[in-house]
Structure formats: structure tokens, C-alpha cells
Amino acid sequence: MNQIFSQSFLDQYIASNPQLIPYLSFLFAVLLVWSLVWKGLALWKSAQLGKKWWFIAMLLINTIGILEILYIFVFSKMKDKTEESK
């Protein structure tokens, strides 16, 4: 089981299937663009709302856009307890 996820297995698999290299490169590029777009949107929104800790977390943690999407559509719409008490 450990060999399935080892680096040597991956090297052997790609070496025996070189036709996959363009597809893997394309998949990597798509994931990179996807992640950068969502990260940019979420960082912009958190900066606009003055959410410093969300900005720092999203800047440092790479989640392939998952955290950023959740922030944009869920957490940014929630009101702070400090805002409610004013």
C-alpha cells in the first residue's frame, strides 16, 4: 500500500505512460488558475471588509480554492458578534 503513493511508483507510472505528461501539465495549469482566481477574489473581499485574520489565513493556507469559496459565499456574509452589539 505504501508503494502506491511513493515517489518511485509515480516516477515509474509516468515513465511507462509518457503520453500522460501533457494532460497532467494541463490539469496542473487549470488547478493553478482556479486557485489563483478564487484566492484573489477572497483576499480582495476580506480586505474590503477589514477581516485581517481571514486575509492572513487565506494568504498562507493553500486549499485549491475551497477555503476561499467558503469565505466568499458563507463567512463573509455572516455578521460579527461585535457588529451586532453596536
85 domain-assigned: no
Taking only the tens place, the pLDDT of each residue in 25-66 is 999 999 999 999 999 999 999 999 999 999 999 988 888 888
Domain range holding 66? 7-78
Domain membership of residue 2 (yes or no) is no
Domain annotation covers residue 84: no
* Domains: count for the chain: 1
* Of the candidates 32, 80, 46, 39, the residue with the CA atom closest to the CA atom of residue 60: 39
* Contact (Cβ atoms closer than 8 angstroms) between residue 54 and residue 46: yes
Q: Compute the distance between CA of residue 68 and CA of residue 44 in angstroms, rounded to an integer.
A: 11
| Greatest Cα pair distance in the chain | 64
Does residue 56 sit within a domain? yes
The model carries a pTM of 0.66
With a cut of 60, say whether residue 84 has pLDDT above it.
Answer: no
pLDDT of residue 61: 87
Q: Is residue 58 part of a domain?
A: yes
Quick one: pLDDT at residue 55? 92
Query: Residue 58 in contact with residue 72, Cβ under 8 Å?
Result: no
- Classify residue 31: in a domain, yes or no: yes
What pLDDT does 47 receive?
95
